[in-house]
Structure 1
Amino acid sequence: MKSPGIDDIMQYRFLSQLKFSPAGGQSAHIVSQAKDDNGYRHELWLCSADGKLLRLAETGRQKLFAWEDADTLLFAAERCEKDRARKERGEVFTRFYRLCIHGGEAVFAFELGMSVMEIRPVEKGHWLVLGEYDRNRPAVDGLEPNEKEVRLAALRKDRDYQIIDEVPFWSNGRGFTNGLRRALYLYDEAANTLSMVSAAYQEVELYALSSCGRYIAGAGREMNGIYSEKATLWEYDRVLGTTTRLSVGRFHIRGVTYADGELLFSGAEGADYGLKENGGFYRVDRPSGFIHLLAGHDATIGLPVNSDCRLGGGTILKAQGEHLYFTSLLGYVCGLYRMHLDSGTIEAVYDEAGSMDCFDISGDTIRCISLAGQRLQELYALEEGVLERLSGYNEAAYENIWHATPVHHTITDQEGFVFDGWALLPQDYSPEKRYPAILHIHGGPKTAFGDEYFHEMQVWAAQGYVVLYCNPRGSDGRGDAFADIRGKYGGIDYKNLMQFLDEMLRVYPAIDSARLGVTGGSYGGFMTNWIIGHTNRFRCACSQRSISNWFSFTYISDIGYYFGTDQMQADAWKNPEKLWEHSPLRYADKVKTPTLFIHSDEDYRCWIPEGYQMYTALRLHGVEARMCVFHGENHELSRSGKPAHRRRRMVEILQWMNRYLRESGDQNEQE
């Protein structure tokens, strides 16, 4: 029987953007897979009412689509070299094509002179468009070819310069965003006109369209030199042509939708637990604008369980009939729940182990994309609380291949909080043998591990490592009080991690306590940096996309100016000592652990100087250190980076662990 290997990720298929036809019955979704030219192939698939699957478009470039009607899909694509050449010259546009699901070739529909993120039909020939607006870029649409080329040439010259007059001035995954806004537009296909319905100073992060097509709601931060920390909620009336600002700077908003014309949203004011507070569900009365709390919900909406085996998203909040359906993380399971719109009562629709990544519902029919039953993503039908698998995109991943089954443990800390942890045991594990172990720490910190499939941890287990991971204080899934470690980073969370490790050494005496490694990314990278400055029990470490210095993170990261101050409960002027107290760099002179640093040079979430600083400090203090920099990648390297880069990252980590943790007689390392 074969074991999971690093290169298996090249064969995995990732599902996203599940959407039912307006008539119900059949649905469409995107299937993505790594391809040879170091990118991903994206295909549009149809699932019929009786569960039959059909690939609709074969160019491999479909990521954005919408149902126009029961028989027609609209999708965006660059289908020829001429289009790609235009993009290389600096033109910004999105071309859309129509495709009849019953057969025939795709037909060109229209082109919009902007980068489009999403599109939805409003009524025949009218579309709601989420696109990117650049206040600093002169328009080139409608210009004569010669004049257009002159203006594009000037824009290409300006690429050598970047003017900054906003905070934040960049965004992870988008690059420099100074002057860029995600905006909502109405597009009239017959007249070929675009009308902006959001304000030019707003970043649209969430939006909804009422089923009648009259109302459009949007939520997002406002720019006044600095993006607001909390969102503004507004509604546009297509009949009257007016916009009403419903809430300004009161809520952190996580979801927006309509139910029979009534505006609903999920969010929190943050009065008790700050930026990451869970909150509840609200209804907005029209025309008074009064906001009613329908139900509190001490859990995160829409956050899937951590995995490196998904690419893209989908619907996580939708009203249907008398209920509001939503995905939510409770414990270590991301399931589907529903709230009764009148009573506010919340009940589970599906809460079995795994992660429901997105869903759609039409009438009484629910379909979802899930990591379920220790399997990679597949398409499922949900009927009476039972998942019926409709697809087998990743069936080959299980053919005569061994996979480690997570062993679940619960730990109670000294303050009485219970937290979850897991162990992956190597193939043919025997208590009579001795094994090295890797402690893996998740990011966030308000995210969570579960017992879903996680490729790189399976690879480590296949290589003979006991893999340990848990959800310490600060993690998601157990409510606000459990998740709240503001001003306490490196305290109770560190103690939980060490308590978990001690318990695993007791439960699994075959683990060699002299051969322990530790790794993690983002918050997990921060904690790895913190650990090596506070204990020498690990023989080696790998710190990924980390934080080492709260001063530099807070004033450089795309989220630092509000996330850093919220999480540290301090800033550089009111309490600078606290920022330094919680910075791993402060303790770098105590480090003895050989450490590998992995960082990407376009990571604007945890910018690369966070890695450079810690790496340099260790070298200055005589500690063996290595740094691997990935050019052109960002904070999402391990989840959506170029396939070759994802492979190299896993090779770097495994080779580093093997170098320090393996002994003769262990299983052979992978190349």
Structure 2
Amino acid sequence: MAKRNIKVEDLRAFKFVSDPQISPDGSRIAFVYSEIDHEEDKYLRHIWFAETSTGKLTQFTYGPGADTYPRWSPDGKKLLFLSNGRQPDKKTQLYVINIGGGEAQLIADTENGVSSPAWSPDGKSLLFTSKVWTEEKPESDVKRITRIRYKFNNVGFFEGRRTHLFTVKPGGKPKQLTKGEYDVNNPKWSQDGKSITFITNMEPDQDTSKVNDIYRIPAKGGNPEKITDSKYNMSNHSHSPDGEYIAYVGTDRPEELAVDLDLYKMKNGGKPKCLTDGFNRSLGMGMGGDLRVASPDDGPVWSGDGKYIYFSTSDTPYCNLYRINTSNKKLETLVTDKSVDGVSVSNNGLIAYNAMTALEPCELYLYDGAEKKLSSFNKKLLDKLTLSAPEHFTFQNRQGRTVDGWIMKPTGWKKDQKYPCVLEMHGGPRGIYGEGIFQEFQLLAAEGWAVIYTNPRGSAGYEEEYTQGVMRHYGEVDYDDFMDFTDEAIKRYPWIDEQRLGLTGGSYGGYTTNWIIGHTDRFKAAVTCRSIANWLSKFGVSDIGFMQPESISGAKTYWGDDLLEQMKHSPIYYVDKVKTPCLLIHSEQDYRCPMAEGEQWFTALKLNNVPTELIRFPDENHELSRSGKPKHREERFQHILRWFREYL
């Protein structure tokens, strides 16, 4: 059968594998299988099994709910999972089901939904977190705001509520273990089941501090005890199999900008020891892609004998799977040449993971000393499509540093023709381009345009100095890198028509889109998505804006003498210089880069007579391009293609 170019509508046919969880004995892998129901405009998510000995794949859960977060009981006979939609008008609920089948048992149903569930070591109890009202729930729909943190993208408003810890026995009533003005994050059972540890900050400055601590609380309830010394920022932790040690991902320089996250190991209540001080890459950095359902991060994964810890993180161009010896710090790369997402390890050392490439969404894999691919859900579709394979090349930036870049040729490329070219820019700025698949890029190539992309200073997946390179210099060194990269691509690939250049990006990539067209008119068309126009307006309305001031320009506030410095790093300061036709795509429920950023950029462009349109997506947030409603994702693609067709 002759192959064809990819189409917008092909989004409906892609399948997504995430959150692989191998059973304690290594015989099965539970994972989440997601697909799109175009008619209902939603995602269907169910739990599937893979037999590790045969590779046989079977669907395990059914029904109308979105079933996610499968976790094995210690004896491997039961599975807990979260489900949304099994019961109408309910938030996410916690269920347990026997592996032999039968009806799932509802374990916990809370007003604000359940998250982060885990089995106790004896399999008799479960923990979970849920948001609760710290005072009596108001009868009015008027919001009373007292904290600077009261909303979050893809979560919404949570004024008056805190995330607290619960335990429950199947068939019993949940018991709230923590209370007060703090949030419980990343709860983990101790290996003897007598206590639970979690990460939080209980201090008055918790909303603006970057410091947090590990606390321990008796599993039967009581007062939390702080077991770290308030010198670290931590994102995740786990207990060694013998219960003697805690491993966590974090940094001992919490107030510095864009520092690497390392792996630490400490005796319960002892002094932490850094295991990855010789690694020179930050942990916790995943690879970008728009055909991916992200797996939850379970933190450091111990081997059954406690000798090793497994983790995945990016070393451009891949997101590799690593194993480190907890005694001598010897680091091994187990899986490379692709981008690993979720990882779990059985008691006997079998490793389940999902991974993608630049030409294939995540599929399921097993590592038992060698890599085995267990699923090929997207093969039938991919076999029909002509995709453009990215070609890697490098260039020297102005510091003499070798920088990665990629070009995707237009499908049907011929060497004696000239082609338009679109520069794609990632978000972050600590985003990463590499071995990840983007339908957006493939659609541009299918239209007959080249696509180029790079990792400018500020990107993750490199040494800390490179990632910190953009800090306090937004719009400066990144602009230089993008311009030098574009020059190099045109020089290296003379078939690029430099009179027909376009550019686009989202989030921080939307900021750089706006910034670039205010400083050069070499690009003939721009599409700016979920962008930033004005750092001064963003700081007080974004869910994280108040945490950002110094990273932008070096100024530490947004007022007084600092105000002008921050404004000079804002695209709107230079909007009178813009000539490039610019399409704006923004989500109305985006709390990261709020709608006002798109509105004022659009208004300023209109007042300066720049060809522009504003496309507003209702009921969408900052994640539109990755997990928005399927029909909206398709419509977003259509607008991008329409704009570039008109102006390129």
Which residue is equivalent to 2:225?
Answer: 244
Distance 2:108 2:128 in 1: 13
Determine which of 553, 558, 569 is the counterpart of 1:572: 558
1:460-505 CA distance string (max 9 Å, x none):
1011110011101111111110011111111111111111101111
Distance 1:440 1:649 in 2: 16
Question: Aligned to 2:412, what secondary structure does the other structure show?
Answer: coil
1:555-586 CA distance string (max 9 Å, x none):
22111111233443221236222201111110
Which residue is equivalent to 1:365?
Answer: 350
Determine which of 98, 112, 115 is the counterpart of 2:113: 115
Distance 1:108 1:286 in 2: 34
Distance 2:639 2:143 in 1: 34
Equivalent residue runs for 1:282-321 within 5 Å: 282-287=264-269, 289-296=270-277, 297-314=279-296, 315=298, 317-320=300-303, 321=306
Could you tell me the TM-score, scaled by structure 1's length?
A: 0.89
Could you tell me the TM-score, scaled by structure 2's length?
A: 0.92
Contact 2:78–2:97 under 8 Å retained in 1: yes
1:312-335 CA distance string (max 9 Å, x none):
313453111301111111122111
Which residue is equivalent to 1:268?
Answer: 251
What displacement does 1:373 show?
A: 6.7
> What value does the CA root-mean-square deviation take over the aligned residues?
2.2
Distance 1:518 1:243 in 2: 51
Distance 1:84 1:657 in 2: 42
Out of 479-488 and 212-221, give the one that drifted further: 212-221
Equivalent residue runs for 1:157-556 within 5 Å: 158-159=140-141, 161-189=142-170, 191-197=172-178, 199-222=179-202, 224=204, 227=207, 228-238=209-219, 241-247=222-228, 249-259=230-240, 260-261=242-243, 262-270=245-253, 274-287=256-269, 289-296=270-277, 297-314=279-296, 315=298, 317-320=300-303, 321-352=306-337, 354-362=338-346, 363-372=348-357, 374-384=359-369, 386-484=370-468, 485-556=470-541
Equivalent residue runs for 1:92-131 within 5 Å: 95-109=93-107, 111-112=109-110, 114-122=112-120, 123-131=122-130
What displacement does 1:284 show?
A: 2.7
1:125-151 CA distance string (max 9 Å, x none):
31111222232553xxxxxxxxxxxxx
Change (3 A) 1:110 1:304: closer
Distance 1:281 1:556 in 2: 34
Aligned-partner residue type, residue 185 of structure 2: E
Contact 2:421–2:502 under 8 Å retained in 1: yes
Contact 1:327–1:336 under 8 Å retained in 2: yes
Change (3 A) 1:626 1:264: same
Distance 1:323 1:214 in 2: 25
Which residue is equivalent to 1:32?
Answer: 34
What displacement does 1:79 show?
A: 6.4
What displacement does 1:108 show?
A: 4.5
What displacement does 1:305 show?
A: 0.9
Contact 2:510–2:531 under 8 Å retained in 1: yes
Distance 2:437 2:382 in 1: 12
Contact 1:19–1:360 under 8 Å retained in 2: yes
Question: Aligned to 1:517, what secondary structure does the other structure show?
Answer: strand
1:183-235 CA distance string (max 9 Å, x none):
222223454241324x5322233333333323422123447376133222222
Out of 248-257 and 625-634, give the one that drifted further: 248-257
Out of 483-492 and 246-255, give the one that drifted further: 246-255
Question: Aligned to 1:444, what secondary structure does the other structure show?
Answer: coil
1:250-276 CA distance string (max 9 Å, x none):
2221321111311111211336x8242
Contact 1:167–1:225 under 8 Å retained in 2: no
- Percent of paired sites with the same residue: 30
- Residues 1:596 and 2:583 are matched in the alignment: yes
What displacement does 1:18 show?
A: 1.5
Distance 1:506 1:373 in 2: 24
Aligned-partner residue type, residue 339 of structure 2: S
Distance 1:232 1:188 in 2: 28
Contact 1:438–1:466 under 8 Å retained in 2: yes
Distance 1:594 1:441 in 2: 18
Distance 1:98 1:451 in 2: 36
Change (3 A) 1:111 1:49: same
Out of 530-539 and 360-369, give the one that drifted further: 360-369
Out of 221-230 and 606-615, give the one that drifted further: 221-230
Which residue is equivalent to 1:67?
Answer: 72
Question: Aligned to 1:527, what secondary structure does the other structure show?
Answer: helix
Distance 1:248 1:167 in 2: 25
Distance 1:234 1:590 in 2: 53
Change (3 A) 1:528 1:180: same
1:149-184 CA distance string (max 9 Å, x none):
xxxxx84xx33x221111122110111122232222
Change (3 A) 1:332 1:136: farther
Which residue is equivalent to 2:11?
Answer: 9
1:278-307 CA distance string (max 9 Å, x none):
0422223334x4333333243222322110
Distance 1:563 1:116 in 2: 30
Distance 2:601 2:203 in 1: 33
Which residue is equivalent to 1:42?
Answer: 45
Out of 582-591 and 62-71, give the one that drifted further: 62-71
Aligned-partner residue type, residue 572 of structure 1: Y
Question: Aligned to 2:579, what secondary structure does the other structure show?
Answer: coil
Question: Aligned to 1:516, what secondary structure does the other structure show?
Answer: strand
Aligned-partner residue type, residue 194 of structure 2: R
Aligned-partner residue type, residue 567 of structure 2: W
Distance 1:225 1:483 in 2: 27
Question: Aligned to 2:231, what secondary structure does the other structure show?
Answer: strand
Distance 1:223 1:47 in 2: 45
Determine which of 16, 22, 25 is the counterpart of 2:24: 22
Aligned-partner residue type, residue 134 of structure 1: W
Contact 1:207–1:257 under 8 Å retained in 2: no
Aligned-partner residue type, residue 387 of structure 2: H
Aligned-partner residue type, residue 208 of structure 1: K
Out of 315-324 and 516-525, give the one that drifted further: 315-324
Query: What is the aligned residue count?
Result: 630
What displacement does 1:606 show?
A: 0.7
Aligned-partner residue type, residue 614 of structure 1: W
1:357-407 CA distance string (max 9 Å, x none):
1111112201101003731111011233x4311012112221231111000
Aligned-partner residue type, residue 290 of structure 2: D
Out of 16-25 and 325-334, give the one that drifted further: 16-25
1:506-562 CA distance string (max 9 Å, x none):
111111111111000010000000000000000010111111111111222111111
Contact 1:435–1:511 under 8 Å retained in 2: yes
Aligned-partner residue type, residue 70 of structure 2: F
Contact 2:94–2:114 under 8 Å retained in 1: no
